[in-house]
Amino acid sequence: MSAAARPADRLSGALWIAGGLVFGFIYLPLVVVIVYAFHDSPIIAWPLRFGTLKWFGTLAHDRGMLEAALASLKLALLAVAIALAVGVPGAFVLDRHEFPGKTAFRRLVLLPLILPGIITGVALLTFFSFAGLSLSSGFPLVPGWPVVLGHAAALTSVVITQVFARLQRLDRAQEEASQDLYANEWQTFRYVTFPSIRTAVLGAGLLVFTLSLDEIAVTFFLIGRQNTLPLQIWGLLRRGITPEVNAAATVIFVISVAVIVVWARLMREDQRT
């Protein structure tokens, strides 16, 4: 082995160690939460008695937790529907049309992602109060419309950025060929454009679903009488960490990871296409 190769090997080893430490710092707390979700004792302490599922059974029979989970699910689905309904046309406007201030608007689209959640929550609460919209207005077991609109407003930028990036890579020659074959705009969109951006739309929807499911700051300011799952868990944590809380966190973690994996595969498929 040459002398020049040895410093390179040492640098590579140091980078692997640094990377391992970083990943350990990020993910070790998650491992601890998951491990204690299967801990047989109600006390979070050593020695670890591993191998029980009773806390998941307790979680499944907790009415408050189930209602909060159902509310979070409906909130996330409604937020996805509104974000897609607004974000996809918004991405087309940015990609296909020229208007004064377009460059500045492209930057401002990212503002909801950059602003702290507490600022977004206070701003939306002030706006809805000014508009006279009650925080409790909604349907049974569904969070009020202000929190639904708040999640959609905060996360629409995710859809716009994802779909706009895909439209920038779209080969417009296919659309032109469709129109040369006497297809109208709707037929061109349905059979040519949408199949080309479908993975980006689905990936954006999955990402919005995950972010809405875990949102706390905006939800805290806009929720009415109905709790969501993150706020329900936060309320339980005020009385101390319990195995039931660890079980709920484990379920949320597994669902979030599954959604993110599907989203990553869709993005990889989109890039290959």
Q: For the whole model, what pTM was predicted?
A: 0.77
Q: CATH fold of 63-272, please?
A: MetI-like fold (1.10.3720)
For the chain, 273 residues long, give each residue's pLDDT as a single digit of tens.
Answer: 455 556 667 777 788 888 888 888 888 888 887 877 777 766 666 666 677 777 788 778 878 888 888 888 888 888 899 999 998 888 888 888 777 777 777 777 777 777 777 888 888 888 877 777 666 655 554 556 778 888 888 888 888 888 888 888 877 777 777 777 777 778 878 777 788 888 888 888 888 888 888 888 888 888 767 778 888 888 777 776 677 788 888 888 888 788 778 777 776 776 666
Q: Report the DSSP beta bridge partners of residue 39.
A: 50
- What angle, 0 to 180 degrees and rounded to 10, lies between the N-to-C axes of helices 63-96 and 145-168? 40
Structure tokens at 32: 């601890």
Q: In the chain, count H helices and then E strands.
A: 13, 0
Q: Which of 200, 202, 207 is nearest to 259 (CA)?
A: 207
CB atoms within 10 A of CB 6: 10
3-state DSSP of 163-218? HHHHHHCCCHHHHHHHHHCCCCHHHHHHHHHHHHHHHHHHHHHHHHHHHHHHCCHH
